[in-house]
């Protein structure tokens, strides 16, 4: 069976914008002392308020992602990558600015409806998956947007799609295993299969190869590159710390620093020695081979 909907490659979408972000800022407050001393607790209590600081997680960010794009987002810790991903998944809302996802403007649309069009693979989703759930049911239950199978009724199409996705990512033989018994690499593959179960128009991958050994990383990146090469594949945003984890077939890249766009555009123009060195604050030499990127300090 085909894993991808023909609607994702509709002629009217070619050249159109899937994600549009204009002048985005995300600001929040945090308590200064996570483990305050007795003196600080008494001092703050006497003032009648806690000490807080304002954090500008993302500032004045503008970005357009066309349909058909595979975007790699790279930056150091604290660059704003996770905040951007939370925004794209509608987990948080902008403090300032305008965000449009798949033709819908945040703040003017039912986000629960919008979420049915977005596939997410990330650490937060992983932590919510019941460890005793069978691998097949982990993927299958995405059709109802639930975690943990109960009394849902699944038809043959659902069953077939779940099996096909597990096959695509090399874990079909694990279908009857409990999710909690899988290795990190096997779990990552199952998570991506689950994210794709709903045939999303937008796929968000949060460090999909983090924690994998070299063989596991390369196998997963190869499988994903093959999947993403289909013209019907969803718009994909992959967040990572390492340019080596940008899959082949990535069309665009975004380098972030201090909550802002450092540089964005076609991947070959963005992932360069000059740009990567500036973002990470270290002299780096970037090379490329077979549509993949590699970096070393010099």
- The string of pLDDT tens digits covering residues 211-232 is 888 998 999 999 889 988 888 8
- Which helix (H) or strand (E) covers residue 255, if one does? strand 252-257
172 in a structural domain: no
Query: Residues 26, 92: contact at Cβ < 8 Å?
Result: yes
What gap in Å lies between CA 295 and CA 58, rounded to an integer?
26
99 in a structural domain: yes
CATH code, 56: 3.40.50.300
What gap in Å lies between CA 28 and CA 12, rounded to an integer?
38
pLDDT of residue 12: 45
Q: Packing angle between helix 184-196 and helix 214-228, nearest 10 degrees?
A: 10
Give the residue ranges of the chain where pLDDT is below 50. Answer: 6-7, 9-12
165 in a structural domain: no
Give the three-state DSSP class for 187: helix
pLDDT of residue 29: 78
13 in a structural domain: yes
Domain membership of residue 264 as a residue range: 6-117+200-297
- The string of pLDDT tens digits covering residues 135-183 is 999 999 998 888 888 888 889 999 999 999 999 999 999 999 999 999 9
| DSSP letter, residue 232 | T
261 in a structural domain: yes
280 in a structural domain: yes
Overall domain count for the chain: 1
pTM, entire model: 0.85
* 121: its two tokens: 């693979």
| DSSP letter, residue 171 | -
Q: Which residue has the tokens 């013209």?
A: 231
23 in a structural domain: yes
């Amino acid at each position: 069976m085909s894993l991808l909907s023909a609607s994702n490659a509709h002629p009217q979408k070619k050249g159109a914008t899937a994600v549009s972000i204009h002048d985005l800022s995300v600001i929040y407050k945090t308590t200064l002392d996570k483990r305050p001393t007795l003196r600080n607790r008494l001092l703050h209590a006497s003032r009648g308020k806690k000490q807080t600081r304002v954090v500008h997680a993302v500032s004045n960010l503008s970005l357009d992602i066309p349909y058909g794009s595979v975007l790699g987002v790279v930056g150091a810790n604290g660059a704003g990558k996770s905040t951007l991903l939370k925004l794209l998944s509608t987990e948080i809302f902008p403090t300032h600015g305008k965000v449009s996802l798949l033709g819908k403007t945040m703040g003017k649309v039912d986000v629960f409806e919008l979420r049915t069009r977005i596939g997410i693979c990330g650490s937060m989703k992983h932590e919510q998956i019941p460890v005793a759930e069978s691998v097949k049911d982990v993927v299958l239950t995405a059709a109802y947007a639930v975690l943990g199978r109960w009394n849902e009724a699944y038809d043959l199409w659902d069953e077939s799609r779940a099996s096909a996705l597990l096959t695509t990512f090399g874990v079909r033989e694990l279908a009857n295993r409990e999710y909690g018994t899988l290795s990190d690499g096997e779990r990552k593959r199952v998570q991506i299969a689950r994210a794709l179960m709903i045939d999303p128009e937008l796929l968000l991958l949060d460090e999909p190869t983090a924690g994998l050994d070299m063989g596991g990383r390369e196998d997963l990146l190869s499988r994903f590159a093959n999947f993403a090469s289909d013209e019907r594949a969803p718009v994909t945003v992959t967040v990572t710390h390492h340019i080596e984890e940008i899959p082949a077939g990535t069309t665009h890249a975004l380098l972030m620093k201090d909550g802002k766009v450092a540089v964005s555009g076609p991947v070959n123009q963005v992932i360069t020695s000059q740009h990567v060195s500036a973002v990470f604050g270290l002299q780096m030499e970037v090379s490329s081979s077979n549509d993949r990127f590699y970096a070393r300090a010099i």
